[in-house]
Amino acid sequence: MQATLLPPRNPALCAPITSNRDLGACLIANLPMRDLLSADLRRAGLQLVDPMEATSRTLRIPLDNWIELGALLLLGRNPNTARLLDSDSNTLAWKGSEDPNECEDRIVTDANCFPVIYPWDLLRMNEEVLALMDETSLLGEVSPLASLTGCIRLANGSRILPGTVIDGPVVIGPNSQIGPNAYIRGATSIGANCYVGNGAEVKNSIIYNNTYISRQCYVGDSIIGTHVTLGAGTCTENHRHDGRHHVSMIHGQAINTGRLKFGAVLGDGVRTGVNTSIEAGVKIGIARTTQPGSYIGKDLL
């Protein structure tokens, strides 16, 4: 069975993470999304082909979708032209026509499938991928005074210093330093050459390569780009006092994220002053800076 990955439909909606990179290059569990999806499809026995080589039997899959393989194979076994939809009627994949609207059959799946449209969908995808981890691999240096539980993957050259607590699933790339006395928890991926300082906490977040999180910072349910520096005491808000879902501004429109917890999205090269507070759902664009003691209550793009 053949499959082809199609370009994402609205990558600009994931800005600022996609402001200077393709959506397929966005990191999920420290792997580019395109590489991760390609590997999953190949493991399922599918042959990947270029979109120009697609035939009437080729499964056409937009890159910006998370699809359980069982649902995808159900589409492949359908004898007619068909499209696969999630429970919200979003088209996930199709076969038999270049235009999914021309397909004869509609297959609606209740499996855990969803389109990746907004930045918080990247967080959800990261959570799903890390939840599938079933093996711990500690290739770096771990202090005997650190506490590690759950599934954790630590790459070569990385160090976990004394007093640090890590509650997996967590992935940490090569040549990073965590601690001392740091707390890493939830579905968190930390890239290569990163630093998480004394007393800092990172929870359920995606941290890109070469990012520096100073002492006493809190990063929760957030996406932090590459070469970011968070000044000491920088904190992201991630919970509403009224218990409602967070909203985030996308192209001037308030969008319900569907998440009870959602922090900030910081583009590459952002630098925050010490004791910066960032309101939930706020996005800060590439290379923007904040003054010490700042409260950031709206997007800086």
What CATH number does the domain located at 2-116 have?
Answer: 3.90.550.10
Give the residue carrying structure tokens 């960032």.
278
Which one, of 56, 111, 62, lies nearest residue 87 by Cα? Answer: 111
Mean pLDDT of 206-224: 98
Q: The domain 137-296 is classified under which CATH number: 2.40.50.100, 2.160.10.10, 1.20.810.10, 2.40.70.10? A: 2.160.10.10
- Confidence check: pLDDT of 54 > 90: no
- Confidence check: pLDDT of 227 > 90: yes
Q: How confident is the model at residue 1 (pLDDT cuts 50, 70, 90)?
A: confident
Q: Tell me, what's the pLDDT at 103?
A: 92
Q: Omega before 180 cis (within 30°)?
A: yes
Give the residue carrying structure tokens 């359908």.
78
Q: Tell me, what's the pLDDT at 73?
A: 87
- At 215 the three-state DSSP class reads coil
Ranges of CATH 3.90.550.10 domains, the chain: 2-116
Q: Tell me, what's the pLDDT at 220?
A: 97
Q: Which residues pair with 2 in a beta bridge?
A: 47
* pLDDT tens sequence across 250-265: 988 999 999 999 999 9
Mean pLDDT of 42-56: 89
* Distance separating alpha carbons of residues 181 and 162, to the nearest angstrom: 6
Full DSSP string of 37-48: HHHHHHHTTPEE
Dihedral (C-alpha) 70, 73, 74, 79: value to the nearest 10 degrees?
-170
* pLDDT tens sequence across 129-187: 999 999 999 999 999 999 999 999 999 999 999 999 999 999 999 999 999 999 999 99
Ranges of CATH 2.160.10.10 domains, the chain: 137-296
| Summary mean pLDDT of the chain | 95
